[in-house]
Chain A
Amino acid sequence: MILAASRVPIVEVTTFGLAKGAVYALLALGLVLIYRTTGVTNFAHWGIGLMGVVFYFLLTSKAGVATPLAAGLAVVTCGFVGALCYRFVFRYVKRTNQLVLILIALGVAQLFTALSAMGFGFASTTILDPWLPISTVSVGSASLRSTQLIAIGAAIGIAMLFLPWFRYSRTGRALRAVAQNREAASLAGIDEHRYSTVAWAIGAALAGLALLLILPHASGERGGVITTADITPFGIYLIPAFGAALVGGLVNLPLAVVGGFVFGIAENALILAPEPWSSLRSTIAAILIVVLLLLHTERFFVARAEQEALET
């Protein structure tokens, strides 16, 4: 970001923050969906999203598929990968075993990181072709990037479609039933494994979309670059995405979306601050996350005590 000496680019920075927030929001949406339905804290979420980007890269650079189509196929493949994750791995682990669940998720994260490195041809940097239309949009005196605006629009649009669907559609209600109480749901004739797979597929697809909205467009017309910093278990996006999910206590979907934008703005507002504050973005996110964790733990304990009182 080049700060013009004469004008502070508030609108540009805000838009940039919202665009980042859009990515966090989509990732958080997937995290909450997966956690609610199957009880898994998906530390492998970034890795799964990377698989979508790998597929996109292979389609565009090796198979010569047109980029928007490639993006679409990549998102679908990502969903498929998520479904496989559940089917072959997470389905077999008991929900209550936090340590094992986290360790397995880490293992899967490791697996996808390694596969991604392989998929990107072991290069230290990989160029991605953009698939969104790239142009500059003028709003007042600010010039904004179309890709950022599209990302923001996409996140909001998906949230506005997804949330009501989750609440009112038959599949959505089935998913909520499984999330609430697996035994009761299966007694009511709902196939918990089928719907868990659906939740994972949707969550994974959202992750793939989130990554595809941002990674291929970081450098404007030249596309985007995947560096070694991205081919890591959590990337630099997953931790704030967890923060966003925590705004809703890992279970509330609309709050996760809101949280995503909040984290995006909070992190990037610091760009406008003078040094050394402007490089403390991770620390701000960390503080926010710890506060959220403490807030939710408080409620968790009170709820438990109430429940025990009722069971005496």
Chain B
Amino acid sequence: MTTTHPETIARDPHAAGAALSIEGVTVRFGGITALDGVTMQIQPGEIVGLLGPNGAGKTTLFNAVSGFIKPDAGTVRLDGAEIQSMFPYERVTAGLGRTFQHVKLFRGLTVYENLLAAQHRHLSASPFAAMLRLPSWRRDEDEARELVERMLDTVNLRPWSQRYPWELSYGTLRFLELASVLSLRPSVLLLDEPATGIQQKEVEQLGPMLRRIRDDTGCAIFLIEHDMGLLMGTSERIYALDFGRVIAEGSPKEVSADPQVLESYLGRTRRAEAAGA
């Protein structure tokens, strides 16, 4: 384990100050142990990367943290509060946001309506107020539209606002997903392979954009990514995962030189070659 980075040693893993604290999380499916006692901390405003070959358990970890999978053991804390028994939508209210590996969003709604739907947290009108067109509904709608108008310009989606998701390029779709999740004003943002499937030109824009998001909103970002340029260039700290266990932790330079990390990637390739793939 690479723990020579001074900041890593000085930090108390159980400090109440951690934005996201994952403690001993274990997930088993039948005979497979997908996550084995994973422990990680993300400090407020940090950008942390998560690295690992396919099948390492990265998305499973995100699913466990965001509530789509129930862990068999362990605790997840968001700003000190335990969230591991909350439903996914409750964790959103607590301040957690996440994106998915394969972007789908809401295909029956335009970009504008997708963003309106994302304002759910901030609105409060009841369905009856809507059906009777009461003033409380009107106020709600005005507020929603204002929030969306601002978001459209922030993420530069205005030209697409009346389009449907299937009319957008995959890169634009990812930006829409990002805009939707940012509408939640999360304090911790889990991004699952944001660069997959988009063109190189847009990948290069992603790094600075993530840093800008962090600077503007102060949220911490936890990033799964296979694109090494993006991962190493944006993360301040990286965890490496393999077979459900944390095998390395440290600065990008340290982790990329860590022999265990290299083995987990190359070893996979070597074993695959040996098997005659």
Direct A–B touching, Cβ under 8 Å: yes
Chain B, residue nearest A310 (CB):
B55
The answer to whether A298 has its CB under 8 Å from any CB of chain B is no
**B-facing residues in A260-312 (Cβ within 8 Å):** 302, 305-306, 308-312
Chain A, residue nearest B69 (CB):
A305
User: Which of B29-37, B115-123, B229-237 makes up part of the contact surface?
Assistant: B29-37
A residues in contact with B59, CB < 8 Å: 308, 311-312
- Contact between chains at B56 and A302 (CB < 8 Å): no
Counting chain A CB atoms within 10 Å of each CB, the highest count among B56, B58, B60 belongs to B60
B interface, size bucket:
10 to 19
- Docked Cα-Cα span, A288 to B56, in Å, equals 41
Contact among A309, A310, A311 for B27, CB-based, below 8 A: A309
- Docked Cα-Cα span, A306 to B60, in Å, equals 10
- Contact between chains at A309 and B56 (CB < 8 Å): no
* Binary CB contact string for chain B from 52 to 76 against chain A (1 if under 8 A, 0 otherwise): 0011111111010000010000000
Main secondary structure of the interface of B (DSSP, over half): mixed
- Docked Cα-Cα span, A305 to B35, in Å, equals 13
- Contact between chains at A310 and B69 (CB < 8 Å): no
A residues in contact with B27, CB < 8 Å: 309
- Contact between chains at A309 and B32 (CB < 8 Å): yes
- Docked Cα-Cα span, A240 to B272, in Å, equals 49
- Docked Cα-Cα span, A302 to B32, in Å, equals 12
A residues in contact with B56, CB < 8 Å: 312
Chain A, residue nearest B241 (CB):
A312
- Contact between chains at B57 and A309 (CB < 8 Å): yes
- Docked Cα-Cα span, A244 to B203, in Å, equals 52
Nearest-neighbour CB distance to chain A for B26, whole angstroms, equals 12
* Binary CB contact string for chain B from 9 to 32 against chain A (1 if under 8 A, 0 otherwise): 000000000000000000101101
B residues in contact with A310, CB < 8 Å: 32, 55
* Binary CB contact string for chain A from 77 to 120 against chain B (1 if under 8 A, 0 otherwise): 00000000000000000000000000000000000000000000
Contact among B30, B32, B54, B61 for A311, CB-based, below 8 A: B54
- Docked Cα-Cα span, A311 to B60, in Å, equals 9
Nearest-neighbour CB distance to chain A for B32, whole angstroms, equals 6
B residues in contact with A312, CB < 8 Å: 34, 54-61
A residues in contact with B63, CB < 8 Å: 308
Chain A, residue nearest B34 (CB):
A309
Nearest-neighbour CB distance to chain A for B10, whole angstroms, equals 31
Nearest-neighbour CB distance to chain A for B267, whole angstroms, equals 18
Nearest-neighbour CB distance to chain A for B52, whole angstroms, equals 8
Chain A, residue nearest B56 (CB):
A312
Nearest-neighbour CB distance to chain B for A187, whole angstroms, equals 18
Nearest-neighbour CB distance to chain B for A172, whole angstroms, equals 30
Q: Give A contacts to B, CB under 8 Å.
A: 302, 305-306, 308-312
Q: Give B contacts to A, CB under 8 Å.
A: 27, 29-30, 32, 34, 54-61, 63, 69
10 other A-B residue contacts (CB within 8 Å) besides A309-B27, A309-B60, A312-B57 = A305-B29, A305-B69, A306-B29, A308-B60, A309-B57, A312-B34, A312-B56, A312-B58, A312-B60, A312-B61
- A/B interface sample: 5 pairs, CB < 8 A: A302-B30, A306-B32, A308-B59, A309-B32, A312-B58
A-B interface, 6 closest residue pairs, ranked by CB to CB distance from nearest: A312-B59, A309-B34, A306-B29, A312-B60, A309-B60, A312-B58
